[in-house]
Amino acid sequence: MRKILFASSEVHPLMKTGGLADVSASLPYALSQHGQDVRVFMPAYRQCLKKLENIERVAALKLDGYHESVDILEATLPGTDVVVWLLGSSHHFDRDGGPYSQPDGEDWEDNAARFALFCRAIVALSVNEAGLDWQPDVLHCNDWQTGLAPALLSDRAERPDTIFTIHNMAYQGLFGRDVFDSLDLPESLWSIDGLEFYGLMSFMKAGLIFSDHITTVSPSYAREICDIEYGYGLEGLLRQRAESGHLTGILNGIDYDEWNPATDTHIETHYSAKTPNRKKKNKRLLQQQSYLPISEDTLLIGLISRLVSQKGVDLSIAAVAQLLEEGQNIQLICLGSGEEQYEHSLRVLRARFPDKVALTIGYNETLSHQIEAGVDVFLMPSRFEPCGLNQMYSLRYGTLPIVRNTGGLADTVVDATEENRKAEIANGFCFTEASPEALILSLRRAIALFQHPRKWRKMMITAMTHDFSWENSATLYIDLYHHIKER
Ligand code: ADP
Ligand code: GLC
C-alpha cells in the first residue's frame, strides 16, 4: 500500500472544465479500491464549497509568498469515501466564474499567484508540514497548475517521489519574467534547466524537469509529444526524458458506475450489450425533446465538446453542412461551449437546417448522458487528443465514434474496415487527414453501414463489450508508484 497525494486543479463533481476533472475523481477512487491510501488535493473554489457537505477545517498554515494564513479543509468526494483536502484562501479562490477564467471567459489576472500558492500548499502537505500528520510516499501532480510543486520540492531531503501527468500540452501556464519576480521564487529556478522557457516562466516545464517520472494519458500521445508538431517547444526535453525511461503513456479509464447505460439515472430506457435494440427508445426521446423529426432510419450524430480548435469543431461543421446540402438522411445534436467563432458557426448551421440540427450552447451534465445514450454516432475529429473520454463514453453506450487517428482516439477506436469487422474488433470510424473531406468520407461510410442493421448492431456490441474501466490502468499506476526511483 502506498500513500498518494493526488493534486489537481479540477475534480468532478466539485469543479470541472473537461476530462481532467473526470480523471481526478475516477482514478483516485480506483486507486483506493485497489487498497491505496489516496488523498485528493484541490483549491477550495466557491463552487466546491457549495457542493460539499460536512466540510471540516483541519489545519491552518502560513505559506511563503502570502502574508495571510490559509486553511486546509477536509471532506470526502461525493459518493465515495475518498478524502479530499481543499486549499482555502478566500482571496484566491472564493469568487464566481471558472477555475481559470472570469465569468466573461477572460483568464483571471492572478492565475500565476493562485496556482503558485496551490503548489506551495502541495509542498507543505508533501513534507508533512501542514499539520495533518500524514506523509505521502508519492506526490502525483496533474497539468501545469501543479507544475511548480516538484520544482519547489526538488531540494527537500524528506520529499516523496513525484509523478507529473500531462493531460494537455496545449496549456502550459506561461507568464512573464515580472510575474516570476512577483512570486518570490528561488532565483536558481530561472534557468534553461529550470522553468525558463524562451524568456517566459513555464509552470509545465517545471513539472517536466523536476518530477521523478512523467506520464501522459495515452501511449500514442506519449510518442506524439516527443515530436515538434505536438510538443509545443518542449519536445526535446520530452524526448530526453522518454529515452531515459522517464516518460510513460497510460491510457485513462472511465468511471463505469457513472457511465453505464444499464443503470444511468439521466436516461429513460436502460440497455446493455445484451439488449442493444432498447437504445432506440432513447434515440426517439432525444429527437422528440430536441424538436427534431422522429425517425429511426436517420443517422443521428452527436457532438459534445469544449468548442476549441483542438476538437476540430470547424471540420465537424463543414462536413455536416456539406452532407445536409446534399440531402443526406442525417441529423446533428450538438452540446458545447467555448470560443465565440464556433458557437456562432453552429448557430448559423442550425438556422440553415432547423429541422436537422439541434444545438445547446452551455454545459449540461444530464443532456450529455442523454446524447450518448440516444445518438448513433459521435463526432470527435480532434486535431490532437491526449486521451479523450467522450469516445470511450460513446463506446460504452453503443454509440460508434467517428474520430481522427490521433492520441488516445487512435488507441481506443478501431476502424470499420471489412477486415476489422470480420475479426469483430471494429468499433468506430477513423480517418487521418485533418480536413472536412477526410471526415466526410468517414461519415459516408457510417451512413452506408447504417443501412445494414445487423452489421451495425455487431459493431455496437463490440464497442459495448470492450473494457474501458480503470481496472488495467489503475494497476499500471500502482506499479509505477512502487518503482519510480528504480527508473
Ligand atoms: P477535454 O478534457 O479535452 O475537454 P475529454 O473528452 O477528455 O476532453 O473530456 C471532456 C469531458 O467534458 C467529458 O466528460 C464530457 O462529457 C464533458 N463535456 C464537455 N463539454 C460538455 C458540455 N457542454 N456539457 C456537459 N459535459 C461536457
Ligand atoms: C485533457 C485532454 C483530454 C483528456 C483529459 C483527461 O483535457 O484534452 O484528451 O482525456 O485531459 O486526461
Ligand 2 site, residue 389, Cβ cutoff 6 A: yes
Please report, in range form, the residues annotated as the binding site for ADP-alpha-D-glucose.
Answer: 16
Q: Is 17 in the pocket of ligand 1 (CB under 6 A)?
A: no
d(Cα 310, Cα 338) in Å, to the nearest integer?
11
The answer to whether 214 and 166 are in contact (CB under 8 A) is: yes
Q: Whose Cα sits closest to atom 5 in ligand 2?
A: 19
Q: Does residue 13 line the site of ligand 1, with CB under 6 A?
A: no
Q: In this predicted structure, what is the pLDDT of residue 486?
A: 59
Taking 80 as the threshold, does the pLDDT of residue 473 lie above it? yes
Mean pLDDT score, 228-243: 97
For ligand 1, the distance from its centroid to the CA atom of residue 304, given in whole angstroms, is 7
Give domain limits for the chain. Answer: 3-253+471-486, 276-467
Cα–Cα distance measured from residue 421 to residue 456, given in angstroms and rounded to the nearest whole number:
10
Average pLDDT, the chain: 97
pLDDT at 105: 85
Nearest Cα residue to atom 7 of ligand 2: 19
pLDDT > 70 fraction of the chain, expressed in percent and rounded = 100
Annotated binding site: 16
Mutate to test the pocket of ligand 1, among 20, 389, 392 (most ligand atoms within 8 A of CB): 389
CA of 262 to the centre of ligand 1 (A): 21
- For the segment 37-59, the average pLDDT, to the nearest whole number, is 96
Distance 335 CA to ligand 1 centre (A): 10
Go through the chain and tell me how many residues it has: 487
* Dist CA 396 CA 431 (whole Å): 21
Does this model's pTM top 0.85? yes
Where do we find the cell 468532478? 12
Model confidence pLDDT, tens digit, residues 110-119: 999 999 999 9
3-253+471-486 shares its CATH topology with 276-467: yes
389 Cα–ligand 1 center, Å: 7
The whole-angstrom separation of Cα 137 and Cα 277 is 49
Span 325-358, pLDDT tens digits: 999 999 999 999 999 999 999 999 999 999 999 9
* Over residues 217-244, mean pLDDT: 97
- Could you tell me if the CB of 87 is within 6 A of ligand 2? no
Ligand 2 centroid–CA 91 distance in Å is 29
CATH code 2.60.40.790 for 276-467: no
Ligand 2 contact via 391 beta carbon (within 6 Å):
no
Residue 487 has pLDDT above 80, yes or no: no
**CATH T-level topology, domain 3-253+471-486:** Rossmann fold (3.40.50)
Cα(420)–Cα(427) distance, integer angstroms: 9
